[in-house]
A and B are shown apart, each in its own frame.
Chain A
Amino acid sequence: MPKLEKISAIQLISMILINRFLFGFSFMPTVTISPANQDAWVADILSGVMVLLFAIPLLIMASKFPNMGFNEYFQVILGTFIGKVVCFIYSLYLVFITLLTVIFLSDFLLSAVLPETPMYAILLFMLIPCMYASYKGLECIARSSIIISTFIIFSIVLYVMLNFNNMDFEVFHPILLDSTLSQIAFGSFNNAARFSDCFLFFLFLTHVDKTETYTVTKIFIILVVTFTLMNTVLTVATQSVLGVGLAKILRYPYFTSIQQINLFSIIQRIEFFNVIGWIVIFFFKICSTILAAAIIMAQVFKVKSYKPFVIPMNIIIALSVLLTSISHYAIFKTIITDYAYLVIFTMNFIIPTIVLAVYIFRRKALEKYNV
C-alpha cells in the first residue's frame, strides 16, 4: 500500500460530502426520475437510510480490519490472486466514474454556461489541476475540502434565502398520496445506489488519524445524515421554486431554480457562485476518485508510489471523452439514467456482500488479521 499522509475524520467527511453534492447540484434523481413528484423529499430521506443499509457489508469488514483499506482486506479475504483481480476491477470502475464525472462537467458547462468553449479546452483546464492535486496527495485534497464544503453549504443556504420569496410550499400537497410505495422505493434506491464515493470513504478511512476518538460507523452516519439533509434541502428548494412538473423536465433543476432569483431587480444573475461551486465539486470528485483509483492500482501491482498511474489515467479519460461518442448527450443520458446506478450498486453492495459471505466462511482462518 502506498504511504499516504494522515487526515482527520472531519476532513474525510467534508471530502466525501463535496463529492456527494454532485447529484444535488446536477440532475437530482428523485426530482427527475422517480418519484419525480411532490414526494421526492421523502425519497431523499429514505435514500439516506438505504445508503446506510447498503454500506453494512463494508462497515462490518471495515470494523473487522480497521488498519486496512478495502483493497487490502479484499485481498486478505478472497486470496491474493482473486483479490487483486477484484481490486483491479475496482480501480477501473473508479476510472469509469471519473470519466462520467468529466462528461457531466463538460455537459453542464457546454449546455448551461459556456456553450462556445471547445471540449478540449474544458478538459485541459480541468484535468491538469486535477492531476496536480492528485499528485500532491490525500492531505492536500482533504485539507482544502474543509474550506470548500463550508463554501458550498454557505452557497446553498444563501440561495435558499434569496429564493425564499419565489418558493411555494403548496406544491408539496398532497403528501404521499400521488406516489405508489414502489415509486418512492425505486426513487430512494436509484438515489442511494449512486453513492459511488462509498469506496473512497472506505479506502481513505485507514488514513484517518487514529488518535482521534471515533468509530467507523459514527463517521459514516454523520456523513450520510449530513448529505441526506443537504440533498433534501436542495430538493425542497428546487421544487418549491419551479413546481414539481417543471423541475421534472429540466436537466439541471437546481441551477434553473437559482436562475430565478431576482430581488428588487438588483440581485439577479448571481448563479456564478453556484457555477464556482459546481466546478469545485467536479474538481474534488475527479482528483479524489483518480487518486483512489491510482492508489488501488499501485497496490495491485505492488508499486511504491501511486503517482505513475495518475497521468495515464487522466489521459485515458481525456481521450475517451474526445475520441469516443460516450459524451454524446443521448448515450451519456442513457448510461447515467439507466445503467450507472446498477453498476455502482453492484460495486457498492453486491460484491462487498459476496466478500463478506466469504469472510464469514473463512473467519477462523482470518482471525489473525482482526483487531
Chain B
Amino acid sequence: MKDLFFKKIFLIIVIILAILFSTGCWNRRELSEIGIIGAAAIDAEADKIKLTYEVITPKRLDTKSGDEAPASYFQSEGETIFEASRNSTLKLNKKLFWSHANVFYFNEMSAKDGLLTYLDFFNRGHESRGYVNIAIAKGESAYKIIGIGGLKGEVPSSYVEAVFENSAVNGKAASIKIVDFLKTYYEEGIEPVVGAIQTIKRNETELKMPTDKKEEYMPLVEGLAVFKEDILVGFFDGIQTRGFNFARDKIKSGIIVSASPDGRGVNSIEIIKSSGKLNVQIKDGEYYCTVKIEINGMLNEETGKEDISNLEAITKIENNTSENIKNEIKSSIKKAQEYKTDIFGFGQSIHKKYPAKWKIIKNDWNDIFSTLEIKVEVKTNIEKVGVSNEQLSAKEQK
C-alpha cells in the first residue's frame, strides 16, 4: 500500500513537471519579438559592411488587408555581417530572424572581394538555409534594389524570388541559390555563377497600373554574374546567359527569334524541350571540345510572307533557329574565355573522362580553356506550327 502511494505521488510530480516544461522551449522566440527577414542587401565598403534588410510584417498577405506595408526596411553597419545584423537591435525592437529569407543581394565590391567571405555567415549559422537566392547588384548599391518590385501588399522579396524562378522558362537569367554557388565552388573543373539584378525605370504605362505601388523603378534579373573561384570577374548579358544555360542544359523553355525563310519577317520558336551536352576529347595532346544541343520547338509566331506549310520552309526555320542558338552559345563561350573562367564545366568533363590528365592540368585549366576552339552543334526540330496553316499576312500572295 505504502509503495503504491509513493508511486502515485511520484507520478503526479512527473506529470506536473512535464506540464510545466511543455509550455515552451528554452530558445522560444515569440512572433512579436523577431524581425523575419525577407531579403538582405550586403554592401561591402572599404572598412565596413552596410547591411540593409527587409523585415516582413506578419499579417495576411494580400492586397485587401489594409494599407499597412507588407515589409519595413532598416539598415545597420558592422565589420562583419553578423555584427551588422546584431547592431540592428540598436534601432529595431526585434531580433533578426534569418530562416525565412528569400533572397540576398550583394554589391559588386563584395563579389570582387570574394563572395565566400560574405557567405560564411549564412553557411555557418543555424538559422539560414542554403536554398536562398543570391544575386549581384549590377552597377549599383545592393541596398537600392531591396524593397522594390511587386504589387501593393506583396512582399518585394517574394516577388523577386518568383521572378528568379521564372528564369527557367526564359533562359536569360539564372536562379542561383547559396548551396548551388558553394557546391560549384568546391567542385573541380567548373567555376560558379550568380544571378545578376539591376533596377530599371518604369515607363508611364507601368506607373498607371491601379493596384501597383507606383514605384519609379522595378527590378530586372536579366544576365549573370561570372566568377573565377569566388571572385566576380564580369557579367553576361541576357543573350549570353541563355547561351550559357543552353550549354549547361538548364533551359526548360524560352523563345528564340530568327529570320523567316523568305527573309521578310521573323518567327518565334518556343522551346518545348532542350538537351545540352558538353564533350571533351583529348587526342595527341590536343583538346577537342564540343557543345551539342538538341531542341524540340513549336512555331508560335511568323511574320514573314512565305508559305510555311512545306517541309523546305520548316527546314529553313529550323536552320535559322539553330544558327541563332549557336551564336548565343558561341558568344557566351567567347565572353567566358575573355574572363578566363570555365563556368561551363569543360574541365569537369575532363576530370571525369581523363582523371590522370586532369591532375596535371587542373591548376592551369582556366588558362587552357581561354585558348580552346570550341565546336558548337545545334539541331532544331520544329514539330508543331500552332493552330494556323497559313500566316495571317499571306493573303496578298493569293
Interface residues of A (CB under 8 A from B): 111-118, 121, 125, 170-171, 173-174, 177-178, 242-246, 248-249, 256, 259-260, 262, 268-269
Contacts and interface: CB of A to CB of B under 8 A. Distances in A.
B182 A246 contact: yes
B183 A246 contact: yes
Interface in B127-176: 129-131
Contacts of A262: 129, 131
B120 to A, nearest CB: 11
Nearest to B102: A265
B130 A256 contact: yes
3 closest pairs, A vs B, by CB? A245-B186, A243-B183, A177-B355
Contact of B355 (A111, A112, A174): A174
Contacts of A115: 27, 126
B355 A178 contact: yes
B275 interface: no
Given A117-B25, A170-B352, 18 more contacts: A113-B126, A114-B25, A115-B126, A116-B26, A117-B26, A117-B27, A121-B26, A125-B21, A174-B352, A177-B355, A243-B182, A244-B186, A245-B185, A245-B186, A245-B188, A259-B129, A260-B129, A260-B179
B358 to A, nearest CB: 9
Q: Find the residue from A177, A244, A248 having the highest chain B CB count within 10 A.
A: A177
Contacts of A259: 129-130
A230 B206 CA distance: 56
Interface of B: 21, 25-27, 99, 126, 129-131, 179, 182-188, 351-353, 355-356
B305 to A, nearest CB: 45
B33 to A, nearest CB: 13
B48 to A, nearest CB: 26
Given A116-B26, A260-B130, A268-B131, A249 B355 contact: no
Contacts of B27: 114-117
A282 B232 CA distance: 44
A291 to B, nearest CB: 21
Contacts of A269: 99, 129
17 contacts: A113-B126, A115-B126, A117-B26, A171-B187, A173-B352, A174-B351, A174-B352, A243-B182, A243-B183, A243-B186, A245-B183, A245-B186, A246-B179, A260-B130, A262-B131, A269-B99, A269-B129
Contacts of B26: 114, 116-118, 121
Nearest to A111: B126
A353 B197 CA distance: 65
A243 B186 CA distance: 8
A242 B183 contact: yes
A39 B86 CA distance: 42
Contacts of A170: 352
Contacts of B355: 174, 177-178
Given A114-B27, A178-B355, A269-B99, A243 B187 contact: yes
B175 to A, nearest CB: 12
A134 to B, nearest CB: 17
Contacts of B188: 245
Nearest to B126: A112
Contacts of B99: 269
A246 B131 contact: no
A156 to B, nearest CB: 20
Nearest to B14: A132
Nearest to A114: B27
B360 to A, nearest CB: 14
Nearest to B130: A260
Nearest to B25: A114
Contacts of A121: 26
B177 to A, nearest CB: 8
Contacts of A117: 25-27
Nearest to A122: B26
Contacts of A114: 25-27
A191 B183 CA distance: 25
A113 B126 CA distance: 7
A113 B99 CA distance: 12
A243 B356 CA distance: 21
Q: Find the residue from B26, B182, B183 having the highest chain A CB count within 10 A.
A: B183
A231 B182 CA distance: 24
A268 B129 contact: yes
A244 B129 CA distance: 19
A245 B25 contact: no
A260 B131 contact: yes
B166 to A, nearest CB: 14
B62 to A, nearest CB: 17
A246 B351 CA distance: 18
